[in-house]
């Protein structure tokens, strides 16, 4: 990776806020001795007049059509990632490797958000609400892994190479209004992150996105995980998210995936307190927008 251009989209427009963003990012742009000829560039795009702040996740779309695909610089990949998701170099290597292998099947390697629960020292899958029966899944076997559709394919990010980007900009999923036809039950922020997930999947699959399952352990490998940094679901008993352990996603044990919602009164009280404390924010497909 010789050139990396990072664009942060925000709805703030104050100079002091821009300085804070640049200051916190500054250490990431210091030269790396192992790659002395590489360069990293940071820019900030502000959208302060949005009619609804949840429209902000759509602010990056023009970068795909106007900068990534049309720029003189020969970009190889475009990555959209929400601000609280950690994407590793292993994640990118996994995507590049299996993207080529899965391409002829019109499938795209995908990711799972995970959280850590310090109460029991386990990792949990944020978006997989309950266990999955692997025997019911259409699969592609590669390198000892079964690539399958996840029950809940949301992962708050996507990666495009140039071929995928050219396809994406022509699909309904690229447009905020037309994307409702693709996934009407997903809110506006979730639809901004779905990429090509539901665009023309091959026969037997409900989505283009597939994740690898290690057939020897019946778990997804760590290089297909992205970390949801807030860890705000794993210990929140009022929400079903991050209640399925990474080692139990395909378990047949009866006591696995037994989350039950708290009473309506308790749930509403928790929601009200979070709102009063200014903590209510979008973190996944449970948003009501």
Name the phi and psi angles at 126, rounded to 5.
Answer: -65, -45
Average pLDDT (150-166) is 96
Indicate left, alpha or beta for 209 from its phi (over 0: left) and psi (-120 to 50: alpha): beta
Distance of CA 220 to the CA centre of its chain: 16
Q: Strands, E, within 219-264: which ranges?
A: 225-228, 244-245
- Coil, helix or strand for 247? coil
Q: Residue 280's pLDDT band (boundaries 50, 70, 90)?
A: very low
Of 50-54, 71-75, 117-121, the poorest mean pLDDT is in: 71-75
Is residue 115 within 8 Å of 124, Cβ to Cβ?
yes
CA gyration radius for the chain? 20
Among 283, 262, 270, 253, which Cα is nearest to 127's? 283
Of 112-116, 204-208, 261-265, the poorest mean pLDDT is in: 261-265
Q: How high does pLDDT run on average in the chain? A: 89
Q: What is the pLDDT of residue 284?
A: 47
The count of C-alpha atoms lying within 13 angstroms of the C-alpha of 92, restricted to the half-sphere facing its C-beta, is 13
Q: Provide the residue count of the chain.
A: 289
Residue 45 CA to residue 11 CA, distance in Å, equals: 8
- Coil, helix or strand for 211? strand
Please return the burial class of 213, using the count of CB atoms within 10 Å of its CB with bins 0-12, 13-18 and 19+.
Answer: buried
CA distances (Å), origin 219, targets 41, 121, 182, 244, 249: 37, 17, 29, 12, 7
Name the phi and psi angles at 21, rounded to 5.
Answer: -65, -45
- Total-model pTM: 0.86
pLDDT tens-digit map of 167-218? 999 999 999 999 999 999 999 999 999 999 999 999 999 999 999 999 999 9
- Token pair recorded at residue 271: 């929601």
- Token pair recorded at residue 115: 């959280």
């Amino acid at each position: 990776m010789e050139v990396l251009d990072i664009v942060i989209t925000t709805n703030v427009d104050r100079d002091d806020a821009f300085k804070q963003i640049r200051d916190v990012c500054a250490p990431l742009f210091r030269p790396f001795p192992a790659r002395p000829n590489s360069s990293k560039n940071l820019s900030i795009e502000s959208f302060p007049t949005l009619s609804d702040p949840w429209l902000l996740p759509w602010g990056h779309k023009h970068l795909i059509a106007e900068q990534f695909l049309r720029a003189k610089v020969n970009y190889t990949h475009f990555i959209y990632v929400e601000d609280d998701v950690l994407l590793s170099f292993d994640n990118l290597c996994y995507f590049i490797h299996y993207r080529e292998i899965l391409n002829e099947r019109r499938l795209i390697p995908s990711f799972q958000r995970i959280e850590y629960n310090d109460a029991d020292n386990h990792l949990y899958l944020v978006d997989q609400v309950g266990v999955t029966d692997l025997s019911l899944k259409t699969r592609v076997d590669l390198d000892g892994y079964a690539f399958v559709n996840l029950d809940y394919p949301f992962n708050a990010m996507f990666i495009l190479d140039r071929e995928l980007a050219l396809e994406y900009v022509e699909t309904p999923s690229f447009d905020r209004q037309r994307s409702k036809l693709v996934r009407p039950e997903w809110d506006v922020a979730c639809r901004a992150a779905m990429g090509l997930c539901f665009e023309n999947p091959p026969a037997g699959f409900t989505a283009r996105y597939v994740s690898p399952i290690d057939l020897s352990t019946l778990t997804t490998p760590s290089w297909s995980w992205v970390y949801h940094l807030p860890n705000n679901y794993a210990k929140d008993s009022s929400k079903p998210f991050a209640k399925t352990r990474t080692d139990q996603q395909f378990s047949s044990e009866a006591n696995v995936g037994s989350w039950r919602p708290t009473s309506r009164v308790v749930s509403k009280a928790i929601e009200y307190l979070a709102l009063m404390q200014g903590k209510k924010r979008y973190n996944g497909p449970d948003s009501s927008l």
